[in-house]
Amino acid sequence: MSQMTGTQSIRFDREIYINSYASVVGQKEGEGPLGAQFDQVEEDPLYGCNTWEEAESRFQTEAARRAAAKAGLSMEEIRLIYAGDLLAQCSASTFGISSLERPLYGLFGACSTMGEALSMASMAVAGGYADPVLALTSSHFGSAEKEFRFPLDYGSQRPLSASWTVTGSGACVVGTKKGKVRIAGLTTGKIVDYGLKDSQNMGACMAPAACDTISRNLADFGWQPGAYDRIVTGDLGFVGQQILFDLLEQEGWDIRGQHMDCGMMIFDPASQDTHAGGSGCGCSASVLAAELLPRLAAGEWKRLLFVPTGALMSKVSFYEGQSVPGIAHGVILEHVEG
Amino acid sequence: MSQMTGTQSIRFDREIYINSYASVVGQKEGEGPLGAQFDQVEEDPLYGCNTWEEAESRFQTEAARRAAAKAGLSMEEIRLIYAGDLLAQCSASTFGISSLERPLYGLFGACSTMGEALSMASMAVAGGYADPVLALTSSHFGSAEKEFRFPLDYGSQRPLSASWTVTGSGACVVGTKKGKVRIAGLTTGKIVDYGLKDSQNMGACMAPAACDTISRNLADFGWQPGAYDRIVTGDLGFVGQQILFDLLEQEGWDIRGQHMDCGMMIFDPASQDTHAGGSGCGCSASVLAAELLPRLAAGEWKRLLFVPTGALMSKVSFYEGQSVPGIAHGVILEHVEG
């Protein structure tokens, strides 16, 4: 039986593992620093489909199939799926998962969704409710720009604080079958709203939530930042990272020695013109599968806090002058010896 | 420890209770057959706010506060919240839950969300991850029409198969503290897509998913429909109900003696001009809190299958000519003696 820990955290007493992981990304991601590590780089942004949205669904389906196959599972053996994405009414997941014909709980946590999906999946497995469980998310540059910003044909200039939505999907199979990485605990995020309204500076909107979840995680487990080899946020980018450091310093924490950000890892800002970095549900999910989990599995890192961050906004909330609150969910990942 | 049952279901071995429940609805719902049973009827559709969206958030916040208060809990004592709604990027929940300052996992299951939220909440409590947990959802006629259909000012004529989105929210506190209704088990739904594209006939789009989940529930538990005093779908309405009966008959099940539908209960079609019935996440959630749970608590019914149904669509998927797939999540609710 698991244990509630502190005020927002869970420690799993039962051993829960990540059995496999897969990533499928677009061409630009394939040209970035992690290009060789993705399972598949699809050069056609439409992935043979008619729309960005259908293409995003296909990225998700392919990541799901690859993750299941790498765990030696047929899709029928997946007991339960947790999935979500950035689009209105999570439609990339709807039309992606539909073809897999598995039981599904849909999630929305904006770019924090991979943290939420892994949290739900590990709870389901640890509780004996489902085993194995698939957790996955996706995003697509074309569908996200259409959903949140301007028609691509406008060629709108983007401020340096803006991020570039990752085209891709990451998927993990979570189960009790022993693997090389275990999910040891969780910290559930709260919505944190500093009243910021600039959707072209989402790093600043999300940094307070990342600070809240990281400091709560450290307090709940009674750890110093050094208990982690790495603390990896989702898509704060270069602007958000500095704000995170400043906010955490006010709380008495210095994570400069441990911090990485998926959004800062997936593109090369010098050559790829991606400004603050990558973003989107697919950013942290694909970097998790391509870079973080392999290094944990190899024992290069022993313990990592994965903290995807989400900016909770819609077109309507933006037009109505609402702020952009943030949320971040923490997942403790540990290398398993032997 | 809970047990996986059949291929899509869970049976809780640990006793999980619904400790309290509350509903807050709009004027039209207050004028319907269940009017006297809601905790609060708010006559101002804007609920003192500037927009439909802000009003929907406030309905959700008020339902949450009332449910916590009825369980004798301060909001700080709620360990975890599962919430969702119909709007793009679940923004009613974002701006509703934000002010409650509690850990949150956001969900999207369209109008099936109350079933999903109760499922997640009962899993979290049964697993020892959180206790007590709040499950809630909302919808609003004004925000939903704006999100999915036409500007209200057009006064568009609606076909008789169309439903009327309920303005309101329902919330439940789930915990281990003994209560009069327990959550005995779950059946997770799959996305079911019959290729229907008429968003003005969502009952027809969702009935196949309801059929799938109900027949799977009966098969997984090895029960006949008579094992339930009531099998209550979310918002199939008058058109969807007939389709559900026909589809279940093909599977060898007759639930005519047990079936009720929240969408058919909340309005009086003869006097309220609501066509096929009520719909929206707030429909099944508020009827659950106002009618189903009180009758279960009183022992009038001993066992009920609550099966909210969701139509998974967005404006974009509609414009792109996609179908409207359905999903339905089943929750087994039982009266507790003594």
Query: Can you give the pLDDT at residue A338?
Result: 81
Chain A touched by B87 (CB under 8 Å): yes
- Given an 8 Å threshold on Cβ–Cβ distance, is A79 in contact with B116? no
**Confidence check: pLDDT of B236 > 80:** yes
Q: What is the pLDDT of residues B98-138, one digit of tens each?
A: 999 999 999 999 999 999 999 999 999 999 999 999 999 99
On chain A, the residues whose CB falls within 8 A of the CB of B110 are 89
DSSP state of A192: B
What tokens were used for A284?
Answer: 């942290």
> How far is residue B50's CA from residue B60's CA, in Å, rounded to a whole number?
16
- Given an 8 Å threshold on Cβ–Cβ distance, is B127 in contact with A127? yes
Query: Can you give the pLDDT at residue A288?
Result: 98
> How far is residue A148's CA from residue B35's CA, in Å, rounded to a whole number?
39
Chain B touched by A261 (CB under 8 Å): no
> How far is residue A85's CA from residue B316's CA, in Å, rounded to a whole number?
14
How far away is chain B from the Cα of A179, in angstroms, using its nearest Cα?
22
Average pLDDT taken over every residue of chain B = 96
Query: Can you give the pLDDT at residue A261?
Result: 98
Question: What's the pTM?
Answer: 0.97
Q: B225 CB contacts (<8 Å, ≥6 apart)?
A: B218, B231, B253, B254, B255, B257, B258
DSSP states along A146-158? HHHS--GGG----
- Given an 8 Å threshold on Cβ–Cβ distance, is A53 in contact with B317? yes
Chain B touched by A45 (CB under 8 Å): no
DSSP states along A33-84? TTGGGSSEEE--TTTTSSSHHHHHHHHHHHHHHHHHHHTT--GGG--EEEEE
Give the helix ranges, DSSP H, for chain B.
Answer: 27-30, 52-70, 91-97, 113-126, 141-148, 202-221, 237-250, 262-265, 269-272, 281-287, 293-297, 315-319
Chain B touched by A197 (CB under 8 Å): no
On chain A, the residues whose CB falls within 8 A of the CB of B50 are 320
Query: Can you give the pLDDT at residue B220?
Result: 98
pLDDT-derived band at B75, boundaries 50, 70, 90: very high
Bridge partners of B208? Answer: none
pLDDT-derived band at B153, boundaries 50, 70, 90: confident
Q: Maximum CA pair distance of chain B? A: 55
DSSP state of A190: B
Query: Can you give the pLDDT at residue A139?
Result: 97
> Taking Cα atoms as reference points, which of A183, A72, A212 lies closest to residue A119?
A183
Contact A280, A236 (CB under 8 A): no
> How far is residue A205's CA from residue B220's CA, in Å, rounded to a whole number?
45
Chain A touched by B176 (CB under 8 Å): no
Query: Can you give the pLDDT at residue A334?
Result: 98
Q: B163 CB contacts (<8 Å, ≥6 apart)?
A: B202, B203, B235, B237, B263, B274, B275, B276, B277, B278, B279
Which of B50, B84, B88 lies nearest to residue A88, judging by beta carbons?
A: B88
What tokens were used for A137?
Answer: 């998310």
pLDDT, averaged per 10 consecutive residues of chain A (338 residues), comes to 87 96 98 98 97 97 98 98 96 93 97 98 96 98 92 88 96 98 98 93 95 98 98 96 98 98 96 95 98 98 98 92 96 95
DSSP state of B191: -
Q: What is the pLDDT of residues B277-323, one digit of tens each?
A: 999 999 999 999 999 999 999 999 999 999 999 999 999 999 999 99
ipTM: 0.97
**Confidence check: pLDDT of B2 > 80:** no
> How far is residue B202's CA from residue B207's CA, in Å, rounded to a whole number?
8
pLDDT-derived band at B199, boundaries 50, 70, 90: confident
Chain A touched by B307 (CB under 8 Å): no
DSSP states along A199-221? TT-HHHHHHHHHHHHHHHHHHHH
Chain B touched by A260 (CB under 8 Å): no
